[in-house]
Structure formats: C-alpha cells, structure tokens
Amino acid sequence: MRANVLIAGGGVVGSAVAWALAERGVSDVLVVDLDLTGLYASSELNAGGARATWWQPVNVETCAATLEFFREHRDELSFQERGYLWLYGSDELFDIAKRKLPLQNDFGLGVEILTPADVVERFPVLDGDPGRLVGATFSPRDGLVNPNAVRQWFRRGAESLGVRFLNRHYVSGVSTARQPSSKRRVDWIEVTEIAGSDPMDSRGSIREILTKHVLPSSSVSSRQRIECDVIVNCLGAWSPLFSAKVGISDVTEPTRRQICMLSVQHEDAARVESLLSLGMVVDASSLYFHPEGRDILAGYSIPEEAPGFDFDYDGEAFFVEHIWPRLAECSSVFERSKHVRGWSGLYAVTPDRSGIAGLVTGFTNLFEAHSFTGRGVMQSFGVASALASWINTGKPEGLVGSMNRDRFSDRSKWLIEDLHI
C-alpha cells in the first residue's frame, strides 16, 4: 500500500489536518489510528472548553481562527458562546493577564478586566469570599463546544473529499533513509492491524496497547508496509513512541487529567438556574467547571500527578478531596452537591505547555502536530490550516513556525503558557 500523505493519529488534530489537506486539493491522504472510535482519544475525554485567551501570540492566533470556525458551524458543533471567567488569586498572574489584554483584543476577543467587586455584581451566584481574589478576566467570545462533534465533522469532511481512514491499526515500525543532503526521509511505516471490532473495547485489547505499548500476539490480525511521500505525526500523548522509532528524543509527557460530573442539590431554583447559565469558570484554586445539561462538569489537575499512560479514574474520592471543597469556596450553591460519574484522559504536556508543530528538523518529509497540553480541540482548525498550507506549499502559514520542536534547545524561544488547566 502507499499514500501521498500518511497521517499517524486520527484524533481531532489528525482528522483536521487530513480535512485541511484535502480542502487544498491534496490527494491520496491516508489516516491510520488504533482507536478511531475515540474511546481513549484525548479530544473525546476533555471538558469541551474553547477559548483564545492565551498569552502566546501563536496560541491566540490559532485558537481565534478555530473559534471563528466553531461560530460558522455552531449548530453542527454545539458551540455555545458563553464566555470564560478566569478568577485570579495571585497579583503576579493577574498583572500578566492585564499586560496580555491588548494582544488578545487585537484578535477581536473583547476581553474585560474585572475587579472582585465586579465579579460579585455580574455573577452573584459566585458568592465565595471576594477577598481571596485580586481580579478576574472575562472573555465573552470564548465558549463551550462538543469535542466529539468537532472530530466527527473533520472526519466526515475529509472522507467526503476522498481521505481514507484505517481503524485499529498501530504504527509498529518506521523505515528512514539518508538523503544526499544528509537529511533523512521516511520511506514507509509498518502498521499492525488489531483483530476485533468492538467499539467499547470490552476485552481491553486497545487499552492494553495504548497503556503498555505491547502487541499481544493473540490480537494481531495482519501487518503491512505503507509507503508515503509525506508523513505527519498527530499521535498526541503517544507521539514520543513514534518519535523514538525515527531516533528523535521527545519532550512530551503523557499526564492523566480527571473530570467529574456532579448534580447540585439546592432548594433555591433561581440560584441553580443562574449557575446553569454560566460559561466556563476557572477558579483561583485552578478548579474549572461549567454547566453540562442540568449537571456541572468540573475538573482539577493534581499538581503532583506523575506522568504516565493512566486511564483509571479515582472515583468519588477525587470529587470529595479535590473538587467539592474548591467548588464550595466559589459558591454556597455547591454546599450540597452529589458526585454522578467521572473519567480520565491524557494531556500531552510539553515543558512550556505549548504544542509542537511543523517540519521536523533533519527530515525532508516528516511533519508533526501534537502535544497541545489540553487544547487540541481549541487549536484544531487553526493549526491544521497552517500545517496543511506548509505541507502543500513548502512555507509555514502565520505564526505556526514558532511551534517547531527546535525551540526547546533555547529557553528564550519557549512558548510558556501559564493559563493551562
């Protein structure tokens, strides 16, 4: 088998890149993935926030472009422009937020600075002690989106333009060759097809491969080589495994992030309705939450969480220890809340908490787009459009060139983001 462009990874970013290439007239695009159903895909397991209020220009640019795409397809993607309220308890971070306001508003985001008193007046349901805050920002053009709908939109669009998708295929080998220029090129990859078709992975074979990186002999259906002219690594948290196969040391660390759903048990119906009208709220404690139907979705990144491929959810203990106390500090409406369910997914975390994208130095045909540290959905359209243009024309589009992995050899070029959750 062969392909013009082979994309390893069919999550939201890989699917978006495939669609963007096909939109530009690039033919014979093939996407291979072990889990196209998205059962363990990071984009399927996130909180559904969509914002452009970041501190690095490239992140603002690509997220603003993606938000505009979400607005254009708001009904198909269930995009709700409810805004992001970011509460600050640190003068240091709040001062940076104020300095970044012109950058963000140059992209038409309309971000406002709020005092603690402003927060109480505008969002009275958030009646926690205002003394714990030094200020806030509210970005009205940010919002909430359905990550599954975003990924499916890109995939359907790509397939309608002739892109092929291979499910349950694991990249088990890569062959590279030295060029006269002393650079290398990827000639072909080996993919191993995993037997079975159960989308819920009841036997756990897909989960075992994704967490242990071992192919059980009983699960292997077939192996084949796929020759390619261009290859794109869009494997997210699993991108370091691909990089290792071509001799690249990757800086990405897979890290578990947990989310839970809770119901609010409060006798004041008006206050509950006020809570359910909010967009995303990020508390000074680093807790984040937003309405999800009649429930509340809430998450918190445990600082001491060790890197690793872990999909276990800590259950109600996570809610009791990490979520409920922080919610109660935000609003008395959470005093009687009940844990409903929860799950965990993976962030692909880089040292500066920004993604990696572009042509891999030392290669003529190896591109990558991964490790967006929880914002793959938010950057999907913007990054995919820029990278597809790069692959098609040979030149980077916009600011995406600054996301090249070479920046990690020079700390002054890092794209440090502190507004990650």
Tens-level pLDDT at each residue, the chain (421 residues): 999 999 999 999 999 999 999 999 999 999 999 999 999 999 889 999 999 999 999 999 999 999 999 999 999 999 999 999 999 999 999 999 999 999 999 999 999 999 999 999 999 999 999 899 999 999 999 999 999 999 999 999 999 999 999 999 999 999 999 988 889 999 999 999 998 766 667 668 899 999 999 888 778 889 999 999 999 999 999 999 999 999 999 999 999 999 999 999 888 889 999 999 999 999 999 999 999 999 999 999 999 999 999 999 999 999 999 999 999 999 999 999 999 999 999 999 999 999 999 999 999 999 999 999 999 999 999 999 999 999 999 998 899 999 999 999 999 999 999 888 8
Q: Tell me the backbone φ, ψ of residue 222, rounded to 5 degrees.
A: -165, 165
pLDDT at position 220 is 84
Query: 397 Cβ partners below 8 Å, 6+ apart?
Result: 385, 386, 389, 390
- For residue 308, the model assigns a pLDDT of 96
pLDDT at 204: 80
| Cα separation values, 244 from 171, 233, 293, 376, Å | 12, 12, 42, 22
The model's pLDDT over 289-324, given as tens digits with 9 standing for 90+, comes to: 999 999 999 999 999 999 999 999 999 999 999 999
For 143-184, the pLDDT digits (tens) are: 999 999 999 999 999 999 999 999 999 999 999 999 888 899
Q: Looking at residue 420, what is its pLDDT?
A: 81
83 vs 149: CA distance, rounded Å: 20
State the DSSP string of 380-420.
Answer: HHHHHHHHHHHHHHSS--TTGGGG-GGGGGSGGG-------
How far apart, in whole angstroms, are the C-alpha atoms of residue 191 and residue 231?
13
Say if residue 197 is exposed, middle or buried (CB neighbours under 10 Å; 0-12, 13-18, 19+). exposed
Instruction: Give CA–CA dist 63/376, Å, rounded.
Output: 9
**What is the Cα–Cα distance from 179 to 99, expressed in whole angstroms?**
47
- The domains found in the chain, sorted by start residue, are 2-45+148-252+352-413 (3.50.50.60), 87-143+254-349 (3.30.9.10)
CA distance 183 to 361: 9
Q: What is the SS3 assignment for 200?
A: coil
What distance in Å separates the CA atoms of residue 137 and residue 43, rounded to the nearest whole number?
26
